[in-house]
């Protein structure tokens, strides 16, 4: 099994194609999750007050939700197919585990969305107000449940639990569905991701509402939508801060190399400060083997230790510590890279011997001994394919700067929501002081910034776990399909054209819908 002949160019193109699809798909998903809550709030206000204004407001945001929802479905389907086309070795090895949450997502969540979204759009005059309100909230709930199962699958790749390797089938098989579904990584990732999507949705609502205020159109609609969006966004942002702390703690426990890359931490220790900014070259991997810390470092004392360990004096390993081996705070030793490589090679060798012995009809006692050796070393299986120390260090500049874009953007949005709650722009046609207009412009600029921040979060999550397709178990170059680079490269550019066209179409349709404004509400 270690005699692999992989076209490394095919690996790079397969990774690029998956990244392309995921990035485009994530342009649609967070707005779907965010607008789902906004339109639910608007319709709840209509249900409670009976005012036609809130009904038309809910319909407007539902229309934008529907446009975005359709585009997200198209890219999401392609994303799942790529596991079979470009990552067949990965799919074969862990398909029993990875496929389970995706199957549940398709059978339960997607059908739930599809059913109630039809009632939401076409049932206004056909069902009762209560049933229609329930359908709106259930549509949003279905989208959120869909995100849950997809994030469970992704989280399992980051922290594989609830499984065991079967040497007879050469596959990892699930031993506990609940352990997979409710792992701490999955829970943290779901909460943090959904909250970030709510923030993006709130920024979008605030930005669109501000545009109407700047244009002096639909003023009542704009003021009330802006207020709902700003309050919703501020609450989501404050919750996001708490989930971010807990996520950092979980990453420190399960993926310390990712945390070290996010922080540009080359040599760790106790009482570690949290880096605000440092002079890391964005175009070159730093010399983490020689430097103790990044140059021009500005940091908050003790903050990283607190984030990673919930202790101001806690120990946080750096890149070099992880490579060389260190002792955890509970006293257990963490193996060095060389020791992990040795254990991984033992697993590969024992597996080869097991398959040969099984074929030759060896005694069961001998097979049991080999099985024990395989299981003992299986947690380090992927290290058996690692050749260089640099192989397991992610590209630090991307992780470092993407993390700061994510955190900085989150702080910016809190400022935006506070401003919009305290004093929104442009009170009306007779009250449009120039000082109010900059707030509307600020809100509009925050819409594309929100998408950049959202994508930056996924860059941290996915670049930070490289080179692993499955953390510690399967490097990317082992999980890829046996394809020529030319075929993958061709489909990469085809998808690039297709997704760019879909994005341009969506932006065009959304802009037209926004320009047309809400129906049934006086344009004043």
Contact indicator for 39, 202 with CB cutoff of 8 Å: no
- State the pLDDT at residue 2: 44
Contact indicator for 154, 206 with CB cutoff of 8 Å: no
- State the pLDDT at residue 94: 86
Provide the token pair at 218.
């639909």
- Mean pLDDT over 11-29 rounds to 89
Contact indicator for 383, 478 with CB cutoff of 8 Å: no
Residue 34 has pLDDT above 90, yes or no: yes
Angle, CA of 206, 208 and 214, to the nearest 5°: 100
- Mean pLDDT over 356-365 rounds to 84
What are the residues whose beta carbons fall under 8 Å from the beta carbon of 128, sequence distance 6 or more? Answer: none
- State the pLDDT at residue 69: 84
- State the pLDDT at residue 49: 93
Listed in sequence order, the DSSP H helices in 105-218 are 111-122, 129-158, 177-181, 184-214
Residue 399 has pLDDT above 70, yes or no: yes
Residue 370 has pLDDT above 70, yes or no: yes
Residue 140 and residue 150: Cα distance in Å, rounded? Answer: 16
Residue 199 has pLDDT above 70, yes or no: yes
Helix (H) or strand (E) holding 489: helix 485-516
Report the percent of the chain where pLDDT is more than 70. Answer: 96
Angle, CA of 161, 164 and 167, to the nearest 5°: 150
Contact indicator for 28, 75 with CB cutoff of 8 Å: yes
Residue 257 has pLDDT above 90, yes or no: yes
Helix (H) or strand (E) holding 174: strand 171-174
pLDDT band at 423 (very low <50, low <70, confident <90, very high): confident
Provide the token pair at 480.
């890829």
The whole-chain average pLDDT of the chain stands at 89
- State the pLDDT at residue 432: 47
Provide the token pair at 520.
């049934």
**Tens digits of residue pLDDT in 118-141:** 899 888 888 999 999 999 999 999
Closest CA to 244 of 92, 134, 403, 100: 403
Contact indicator for 251, 258 with CB cutoff of 8 Å: yes
- Mean pLDDT over 105-112 rounds to 77
CA distances from 403 to 70, 248, 261, 275, 409 (A): 30, 11, 10, 11, 10
- Mean pLDDT over 61-76 rounds to 84
**Tens digits of residue pLDDT in 146-186:** 889 989 999 999 999 999 888 888 888 899 999 999 999 99
Residue 403 and residue 462: Cα distance in Å, rounded? Answer: 12
pTM: 0.91
pLDDT band at 523 (very low <50, low <70, confident <90, very high): low
- State the pLDDT at residue 10: 83
> What's 256-273 look like in SS3?
HHHHHHHHCCCCCECCCC
- State the pLDDT at residue 426: 65
- State the pLDDT at residue 434: 43
Flag the least confident range among 75-89, 183-197, 301-315.
Answer: 75-89
Residue 258 and residue 283: Cα distance in Å, rounded? Answer: 19
pLDDT band at 110 (very low <50, low <70, confident <90, very high): confident
List the domain boundaries for the chain: 8-262+397-516
Closest CA to 104 of 42, 181, 199, 175: 181
More confident site: 258 or 98: 258
Residue 441 and residue 452: Cα distance in Å, rounded? Answer: 18
- State the pLDDT at residue 282: 92
Flag the least confident range among 46-50, 152-156, 232-236, 518-522.
Answer: 518-522
Residue 225 has pLDDT above 90, yes or no: yes
Helix (H) or strand (E) holding 468: strand 468-470
Residue 283 has pLDDT above 90, yes or no: yes
Contact indicator for 307, 252 with CB cutoff of 8 Å: yes
Rg of the chain in Å (alpha carbons): 25
């Amino acid at each position: 099994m270690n005699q692999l002949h992989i076209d490394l160019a095919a690996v790079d193109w397969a990774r690029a194609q998956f990244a392309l699809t995921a990035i485009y798909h994530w342009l649609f998903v967070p707005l779907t999750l965010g607008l789902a809550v906004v339109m639910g709030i608007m319709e709840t206000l209509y249900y409670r007050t009976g005012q036609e204004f809130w009904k038309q407001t809910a319909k407007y945001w539902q229309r934008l939700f529907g446009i975005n929802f359709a585009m997200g479905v198209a890219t999401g389907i392609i994303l799942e197919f790529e596991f079979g086309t470009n990552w067949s070795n990965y799919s074969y090895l862990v398909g029993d585990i990875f496929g389970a949450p995706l199957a549940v997502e398709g059978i339960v969540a997607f059908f739930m969305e599809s059913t109630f979204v039809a009632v939401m759009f076409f049932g206004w005059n056909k069902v009762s107000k209560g049933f229609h309100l329930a359908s709106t909230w259930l549509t949003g709930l279905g989208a959120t449940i869909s995100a849950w199962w997809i994030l469970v699958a992704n989280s399992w790749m980051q922290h594989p639990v609830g499984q065991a390797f079967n040497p007879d089938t050469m596959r990892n098989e699930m031993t506990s569905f609940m352990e997979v579904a409710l792992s701490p990584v999955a829970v943290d990732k779901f909460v943090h991701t959904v909250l970030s999507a709510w923030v993006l949705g709130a920024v979008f609502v605030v930005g669109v509402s501000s545009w109407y205020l700047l244009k002096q159109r639909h003023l009542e609609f704009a003021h009330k939508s802006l207020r709902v969006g700003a309050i919703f966004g501020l609450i989501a942002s404050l919750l996001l801060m708490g989930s971010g702390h807990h996520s950092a703690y979980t990453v420190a426990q399960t993926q310390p190399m990712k945390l070290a890359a996010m922080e540009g931490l080359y040599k760790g220790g106790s009482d570690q400060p949290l880096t605000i900014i440092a002079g890391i070259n964005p175009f070159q991997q730093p010399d983490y083997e020689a430097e103790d810390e990044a140059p021009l470092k500005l940091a908050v004392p003790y903050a990283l230790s607190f984030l990673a360990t919930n202790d101001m004096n806690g120990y946080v390993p750096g890149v070099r510590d992880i490579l060389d081996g260190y002792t955890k705070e509970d006293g257990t030793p963490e193996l060095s890279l060389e020791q992990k490589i040795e254990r991984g090679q033992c697993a590969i060798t024992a597996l080869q011997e097991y398959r040969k012995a099984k074929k030759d009809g060896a005694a069961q006692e001998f097979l049991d001994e080999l099985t024990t050796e395989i299981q003992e070393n299986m947690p380090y299986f992927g290290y058996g394919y690692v050749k260089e120390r640099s192989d397991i260090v992610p590209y630090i500049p991307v992780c470092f700067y993407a993390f700061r874009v994510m955190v900085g953007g989150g702080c910016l949005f809190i400022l935006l929501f506070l401003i919009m709650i305290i004093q929104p722009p442009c009170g009306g046609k007779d009250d449009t002081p120039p000082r109010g207009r900059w707030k509307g412009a600020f809100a509009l600029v925050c819409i594309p910034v929100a998408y950049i921040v959202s994508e930056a979060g996924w860059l941290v999550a996915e670049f930070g776990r490289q080179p692993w397709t499955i953390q510690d178990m399967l490097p990317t170059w082992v999980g890829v399909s046996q394809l020529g680079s030319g075929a993958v490269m061709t489909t990469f550019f085809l998808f690039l054209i297709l997704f760019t066209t879909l994005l341009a179409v969506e932006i065009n349709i959304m802009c037209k819908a926004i320009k047309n404004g809400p129906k049934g509400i006086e344009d004043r």
